[in-house]
Each structure stands twice: as C-alpha cells, then as structure tokens.
Amino acid sequence: MKWVEIDTHARKWIKEAGERIKESFVTPLDIQVKSHPNDFVTNIDKETERFFIEKIRKKFPGHRILGEEGYGNRLNDLDGIVWIIDPIDGTTNFIHQRRNFAVSIGIYENGIGKMGFIYDVMNNELFHAAKGQGAFLNGRALERLERVRVSEAIIGLNAAWILANRRFDATILRDLVRDVRGTRSYGSAAIEIASVCAGRLDAYLSLRLSPWDIAAGLVLLGEVGGIASNLRGEPLSLLQQNTVIFSKPGLYEDVFRDYLQEGRW
C-alpha cells in the first residue's frame, strides 16, 4: 500500500514539475557555473529540486532526499527510504536547446531500488519501473532486452571520452567505437539510460556520473533484463561518482571480454 501511494504522488509531482519547467520558458534563465566552465545550473534546476523536496517532506516526512542541487539531506548511507533526485538531467541541453532534458527520480529502500522515474519533458515520455513489476513507457510495458553483438550495436557515448587523457587509455574506447554499428550522444544520461531500457540504444557508457544521474535508470534497467556496472565490472555506488556501462545482455559480456579489460578505470 505504501508503495502505491508513493508511486501515485511521485508521478503526479513529476508531471507537475514538467509543466512548471515548460511554463518557465517565457522568463529569462538565470545561469550559473558549478564545478567547471561547462557545468551549469539554472534557477529552474534549483526551483524544481525545491518543489520536490517540499512535496516529499510534507507527504512523507520520514523519507530522506539526495538531490543534485544540495537542498536535500547530506547522506552517508542509504538507510530507510531515500529519494534520489536530478531535477533537470541534461542542463546544458535545457539551456541551449530547451529540449532533450529529463527529470530523474529513483526511490530506494535500505539501498534497494524500488521505483524509477525518468520524464523526458518535451517529448512527454514518462519511463517508470517498480521493482518486480516491470518497466513502462507512458503506461505501456517495455519488452525484455534481447542479446546483441558488438557489430550490431548502437551505443550512447560522449565523444569526449575518446580524447587522449591522463586518467585512462582512450584508445580502448576508440576500438569499441570503431567496431560498433554506430554511436549517439544525447547529452542527458537519464535519457540515454532510458533509451537502453526501451531498446533505442544497445548500451550507454560514461566515465563520470553521479548517483542522481543513474538512480532511476538502474531500477528501470533491472526490470527489462539489462546489466549495469562500473567499467571494472563492479556494482554501481549511489553514494559516489562512477564510471558506468548500462547494456543489453550479451553485448555487456563481449564489451568486457574484448575491450574494457586493459583499462585503468
């Protein structure tokens, strides 16, 4: 019963937040830089996070919240029920394109993913999943992911990750890019993960994502038989940044066997 109530409210608030974001387009954005010159936050990211926090605190006072913009709780563990919120995933798209961004919310209980919601606001596509009950796009069940080979795969990957750098050997991902059927980069991790869940992409890889970028997508992916881990093959952490691969089965094992092994990820 508890989870039905959480589900009903989460959905309602997400749609409401989407409407508020669209309404905000008539007023100028207030844009600020965060950790580096290409990492932005806007007044709308902040207002949207505060909107969810107010609603959750009022309706579910015992729940804790981890939000990208920091208005939630400071968490050292995932005990109890925790909402992990990215109010706008794809802020750069939001600023430059006014599309291709999403609201992403994962709800966990004692570290176990119970519900995931990814709302692609401008396409009006709500992906949602409840643990053990399947994953859905606008209410229609998503199919289980089938195995696929590297040579037939379209993968989500930001081109920046194949540039030479000091942290890892970029030639490894370059080999993968050469061997797949194609690459795509949407600029919103949540939309890219949702795309894997819907079979639009076969895998998504990134070298640095935060808990709020992946919390909802992890629940969704589990419900369609996909596999997620960091690039060392270890489980993803929701308390720190991760390298990530979200993938169809088959492709996941092949990518690790033939490409990722030698990396210093």
Single out the residue of 80, 106, 125 nearest to residue 210, CA to CA: 106
Is residue 158 at the binding interface for ligand 2AM, with CB under 6 A as the rule?
A: yes
Residue 209 contact among Ca ion, ligand 2AM, none, beta carbon within 5 to 8 Å by kind: ligand 2AM
C-alpha Rg value of the chain to the nearest Å: 18
Measured CA to CA, the distance from residue 26 to residue 37 in angstroms comes to 26
Q: How many helices (H) and strands (E) does the chain have?
A: 7, 14
Residues 6+ apart with CB under 8 A from 24: 44, 47
Structure tokens that stand for 181 in this block: 């059927």
Q: Which is nearer to ligand 2AM, 226 or 250 (CB)?
A: 226
Q: Residue 105 Cβ, how far from ligand 2AM at the closest point, in Å?
A: 13
Is residue 118 at the binding interface for ligand 2AM, with CB under 6 A as the rule?
A: no
* 95 sits in which H/E element: helix 91-96
Residue 147 contact among ligand 2AM, Ca ion, none, beta carbon within 5 to 8 Å by kind: none
130 conformational bin, left if phi > 0, alpha if psi -120 to 50, beta if neither: beta
Q: Residue 147 Cβ, how far from ligand 2AM at the closest point, in Å?
A: 27
Is residue 254 at the binding interface for Ca ion, with CB under 5 A as the rule?
A: no
Stretch that binds ligand 2AM, among 109-117, 118-126, 202-210, 215-223 (CB under 6 A): 202-210
Is residue 213 at the binding interface for ligand 2AM, with CB under 6 A as the rule?
A: yes
Is residue 100 at the binding interface for ligand 2AM, with CB under 6 A as the rule?
A: no
Site string for Ca ion, 32-71 (x = CB under 5 A): ------------------------------------x---
